[in-house]
Chain A
């Protein structure tokens, strides 16, 4: 698998998690090994944190296995709106 870029990773997340909004931050300084992501998706509805993380981990299994660090925050569209569209 070629190295992930912010854009390709973002696209993958958008597709696989039906995300309305995805931000991907490369924390590696460019080597493509560490990403922090925020995902806003209706799929998170009714799921607690652990279930959300597992959903993301499973959907991005290969990608996560190939990088060094991965940190995620997941919100439903309603939660995201309620907190004013920011973390």
Chain B
């Protein structure tokens, strides 16, 4: 479903400096890389694993919710924090958020799995995605909507 997301993983092949520094202070380089990642698509998810193979239940649940909402794969990018320890450490500081996954919509931090789950239940998530034009466009020829009224 989010196949394109995999091709959307740009530049987290960062070169590690050969000295160690406390991970709490993220380098300018990684901050810029995250800035870029956050801006790379209208909907951006930092997750464990890939959309096809999430490697954590919370990341899996979040991907499923986004899929159910009808997020347009063209407008979605996912970044696997397990591929890059530096990203994994830095994203928590960047978002001031202690857990993964983390969802951004149009550059704004939305929340983690709990918040997304709750927003999906109340309909806020659909509203947010709709307002940011992040859903699969409805087509005339598809069976996007069907009026089903019981015959009486």
Q: Which of B97, B109, B111, B114 sits near A73, CB closer than 8 Å?
A: B114
The chain A residue with its CB closest to the CB of B98 is A64
CB distance from A31 to the nearest CB of B (A): 16
User: Cβ of B111: which chain A residues have Cβ within 8 Å of it?
Assistant: 49-50, 53
* B113 close to A57 (CB less than 8 A): no
Q: Which of A54, A69, A72 sits near B58, CB closer than 8 Å?
A: A69
* B58 close to A53 (CB less than 8 A): no
CA distance A73 to B114 in the complex (A): 7
User: Cβ of B113: which chain A residues have Cβ within 8 Å of it?
Assistant: 71
- For chain B residues 85-138, which have a beta carbon within 8 Å of chain A? 96-99, 109-115, 118-119
User: Cβ of A50: which chain B residues have Cβ within 8 Å of it?
Assistant: 109-111, 115
Interface size, chain A (Cβ < 8 Å): 13
Q: Which of A49, A57, A69, A72 sits near B97, CB closer than 8 Å?
A: A57
Task: Please judge, given known A-B contacts A69-B58, A71-B113, whether A49 and B98 are in contact too, CB under 8 Å.
Answer: no
CA distance A49 to B29 in the complex (A): 31
29 residue pairs of the A-B complex, CB under 8 angstroms, read: A49-B111, A49-B115, A49-B118, A50-B109, A50-B110, A50-B111, A50-B115, A53-B111, A53-B112, A53-B114, A53-B115, A54-B96, A54-B97, A57-B96, A57-B97, A57-B98, A61-B98, A64-B98, A64-B99, A65-B98, A69-B58, A69-B99, A70-B98, A70-B99, A71-B58, A71-B113, A71-B114, A72-B114, A73-B114
A53-B112, A70-B98 known, 18 other contacts, Cβ within 8 Å: A49-B111, A49-B115, A49-B118, A50-B109, A50-B111, A50-B115, A53-B114, A54-B96, A57-B96, A57-B97, A57-B98, A64-B98, A64-B99, A69-B58, A71-B114, A72-B114, A73-B114, A73-B118
Chain B contacts to A: CB under 8 angstroms: 58, 96-99, 109-115, 118-119
